[in-house]
Amino acid sequence: MFGTFIQKMRLVFGDPVLRGRILMTVGILILARVLAVFPIPGINSAALASLFTGNQFLSLLNIFSGGGLSSLSIVMLGVSPYITASIIMQLLTLMVPRLKEMYQEEGDAGRRKFAQYSRLLTVPLALLQGYAFLTLFQRQGVLPSLTLSTLALDMVLITAGSLLMVWLGEIITEFGVGNGISLIIFAGIVSRLPGTLGQLIFTFDPSQLPTYIGMLVLIILVIVGVVIVTEAERPIPITYAKQMRGGSVSGGMTSYLPLRLNQAGVIPIIFALSVLLFPQMILQFLGNSSNVSVAHTSATLLGYLTNVWFYDIAYFLLVFVFTYFYTAVTFDPDQMAENLQKSGAFVSGVRPGEPTAAYVSKVLTRLTLIGALFLGAIAVLPLVLRSVTGQQSLAIGGTALLIAVTVVIDLVKKIDAQITAQQY
């Protein structure tokens, strides 16, 4: 096993193209981490650290900001506005047929145009989130009272920082290795590991040893489960019809159509957390309103959203629904059946055309059910354990671990694909 790893590393770094892609990816991730260190002017560091202590809401937002929110850096929003914009755009594909056609049927050109619309929508969302955060941190004493011009300048600065992070992510996707947006989130998660491990070492309590062992076992089980579900496939046999051309017979080959158990990957988790956190962010902002009725209503609604049972159930349902939704957006059985028919292929024992689309849709629905239940279960499992053990870091650690493992699996598969392409 170790010999195979060494051989693969030689193939990776022996190929100049792949080595350049990896070095570019690492360099951009380092740049993103450096940008997350530079704060906006006038921060009260002690008040900021106190605000983040034990605040699960801000800690989860910090994951999506790539770690920039905890230091109130110029890239404090990270890629979260772009993720929110992507969710809105994909929801609109259900209501606007033109957008659905653009995303699914127009190939790379349509997807590039769709992504451009997401970027344009990112700008107003970043301005809105920037204003909400700056106002919230002013009222919490983290920032001094800002004049209108200073507030506008800071909003433009952090909006530009968010767009810069999105641009860096897209540079990684196009010229590097892996999905750039996911890797930026992953880099923010990994950057917190030294501090978390150091805190565990300095606060080690021998009486909590069974809890630590249980957490370690849980981490191993989650990693194994995510790997198994991500790699699991349901192969559908496909046969190519024989064709006579110039006295020679072609076709007649048998292949298979691989349907993954989890077509959506980590996207449902990111989508679900974004949907849960965005209303909380707005209510946190409105909760400090000078209007008594608005502040009371916001506090009441925020109480419901942060209730453990409501949060767990909503989180599970959103992950479940988004798994089906993203699979439906990215995989069209009708289009797949049409492509098979055009290439002279058919599913064994199923007639071409609509029967093939119905059969594939039925299989995909059952597979997605298993994948959605698994994703929902491991998403809320750390939250349930947090309620039982009282360990507040479990919820954040579970979500971060799920994202990190899925991103690493995707990255390894992309590198393997690059190695295979270079060999052939």
DSSP characters for 70-131? GGTBTTTTTTHHHHHHHHHHHHHTTT-HHHHHHHHHSHHHHHHHHHHHHHHHHHHHHHHHHH
- pTM for this structure? 0.76
Tell me the per-residue pLDDT of 259-318, one tens digit each, with 9 for 90 and over: 888 877 777 877 787 777 777 777 776 766 677 777 778 778 777 776 777 777 888 888
What is the structure's pLDDT at 64? 66
User: For residues 272 and 379, is the Cβ–Cβ distance under 8 A?
Assistant: yes
Q: Say whether both 259 and 374 belong to one domain.
A: yes
Neighbours of 40 (CB within 10 A): 19
Q: Say whether both 180 and 246 belong to one domain.
A: no
Asked, for residue 5, whether it belongs to a domain, the answer is yes
Neighbours of 322 (CB within 10 A): 24
What is the structure's pLDDT at 171? 92
Distance CA 35, CA 73 (A): 7
Q: Say whether both 125 and 219 belong to one domain.
A: no
Q: Say whether both 60 and 166 belong to one domain.
A: yes
Asked, for residue 417, whether it belongs to a domain, the answer is no
Tokens 């290439």 found at: 343
User: For residues 76 and 158, is the Cβ–Cβ distance under 8 A?
Assistant: yes
Q: Packing angle between helix 56-64 and helix 393-423, nearest 10 degrees?
A: 10
Asked, for residue 358, whether it belongs to a domain, the answer is yes
Q: Say whether both 253 and 165 belong to one domain.
A: no
User: For residues 380 and 158, is the Cβ–Cβ distance under 8 A?
Assistant: no
What is the structure's pLDDT at 220? 82
Token representation of residue 90: 């994909």
Q: Say whether both 192 and 218 belong to one domain.
A: no
What is the structure's pLDDT at 106? 63
Tell me the per-residue pLDDT of 181-233, one tens digit each, with 9 for 90 and over: 888 888 888 877 776 677 667 776 777 777 778 777 877 887 888 788 878 88
What is the structure's pLDDT at 167? 92
Asked, for residue 2, whether it belongs to a domain, the answer is yes
What is the structure's pLDDT at 196? 67
Q: Which domain does 283 fall in, by range?
A: 209-398
User: For residues 253 and 360, is the Cβ–Cβ distance under 8 A?
Assistant: no
What is the structure's pLDDT at 399? 66
Q: Say whether both 347 and 215 belong to one domain.
A: yes
Task: Please count the structural domains in the chain.
Answer: 2
Asked, for residue 20, whether it belongs to a domain, the answer is yes
Asked, for residue 150, whether it belongs to a domain, the answer is yes
Distance CA 52, CA 262 (A): 34
User: For residues 124 and 132, is the Cβ–Cβ distance under 8 A?
Assistant: no
Asked, for residue 423, whether it belongs to a domain, the answer is no
Tokens 């119905």 found at: 358
Q: Say whether both 196 and 215 belong to one domain.
A: no
Q: Say whether both 144 and 271 belong to one domain.
A: no
Q: Say whether both 249 and 177 belong to one domain.
A: no
Ranges under pLDDT 70 in the chain: 1-5, 8, 53-57, 59-60, 63-67, 104-107, 195-196, 199-200, 204, 241-252, 285, 287-289, 306, 382-399, 421-424
Q: Which of 174, 204, 234 is the last residue of a domain?
A: 204
What is the structure's pLDDT at 164? 92
Domain of 45: which CATH number?
Answer: 1.10.3370.10
Q: Say whether both 8 and 88 belong to one domain.
A: yes
Q: Say whether both 196 and 216 belong to one domain.
A: no
What is the structure's pLDDT at 324? 86
Asked, for residue 414, whether it belongs to a domain, the answer is no
